[in-house]
Amino acid sequence: MKKAIVLILLALLLLTMVGCGGSGATEDADELLEWRTQEDQMAYMPDLLTLSEFLSVNDPVLFFRAREIDRRERPDIFYFHNGQLLVASGAGLNFGELSSMSDDEVIAVVKDFVQDQSNLIHSLEDHILWLEEQIPRIQIEYDRHGDAIDLWYLEDLTYRLAHHETELITVKDAVASGELATFFTTPYFLSVRADGTGNVTEFVTLHRGFGYWHDGGDVLTRFVWRTGTVNLFPQIASGIIYDATYVGFFSSADTQNTGGQVFVTRATNDFPQLVLNSPRSEGIETDVEAALARLEAELESRTMPR
């Protein structure tokens, strides 16, 4: 009987100790969560480094955006340097290949990929050939039937031929001079979406510029600039491929984090704990409309290098 009572008391004591331990752990977790949602979190956790600080302190910086951290995935490569951004989408390298390369080797691939505009040259050449075939045929039809053929269409094709011939010379010169990588390197900025309290970051948006040749149908029309965004969420994404460790954030094109992508960089042995910026931290644009207007003005002022 005594032995049974002793066993019961011991069991109660153990339960009490476990309960106390659990309560303390919960309080510690709550306190840690509170620190992470305050602007002064850096004072409590000095190893933290915000994204904007990381991009400014570690220059140049490479980030990789993909569906997942897998050796077979072929990510878009984001090359940050001197406050500018160059993106290589579809460079063709997978994480397995990238993991065996140095940062300098990856940067060289990015520049070479952007610089290699042979596809653009071929596209222009194809359109010029098409125009050279169409214009004489339409001219003959116009001479035969007069008003039955729309003269405006003939004049438009003639104008486009001269326009694309000039573009082709421009692009070939830019490729030969090695200036296209610089031309496609654009400014960027970061903004924050805060929660209802205005103190907690829901996501950070990377705003950037990108250019492309706008296809208007039968013929290539003009080079245009656009602005794009990448939304980054506080959840940490990480993975290891061979000897390379990747750390960063989950990413999505929408604001609900449903895109199923990661935005990661390669971590070294002394890599800091990377976090998204808080709503009022340095390196964040608070007037997004004004910042977008500046970015668009900068892009529109650019012309293809000659």
Looking at the chain, which runs of residues are DSSP E strands?
48-50, 61-66, 76-81, 84-88, 186-194, 201-215, 220-241, 244-252, 261-267, 273-275
**pLDDT at residue 132, rounded to an integer:** 75
Residue 120 buriedness (CB in 10 A; 0-12 / 13-18 / 19+): buried
Question: Torsions phi, psi of 84, nearest 5?
Answer: -120, 165
Place of tokens 């390669």: 266
Mean pLDDT value of segment 28-52: 54
Q: Which of 55, 63, 102 is nearest to 81 (CA)?
A: 55
Mean pLDDT value of segment 142-157: 66
What pTM value is reported for the model? 0.68
pLDDT band at residue 213 under the 50/70/90 scheme? low
The DSSP output letter for 102 is -
CA end-to-end span of the chain = 99
**6-34 tens-digit pLDDT:** 333 333 333 333 344 443 443 443 444 44
**pLDDT at residue 186, rounded to an integer:** 87
Mean pLDDT value of segment 244-264: 84
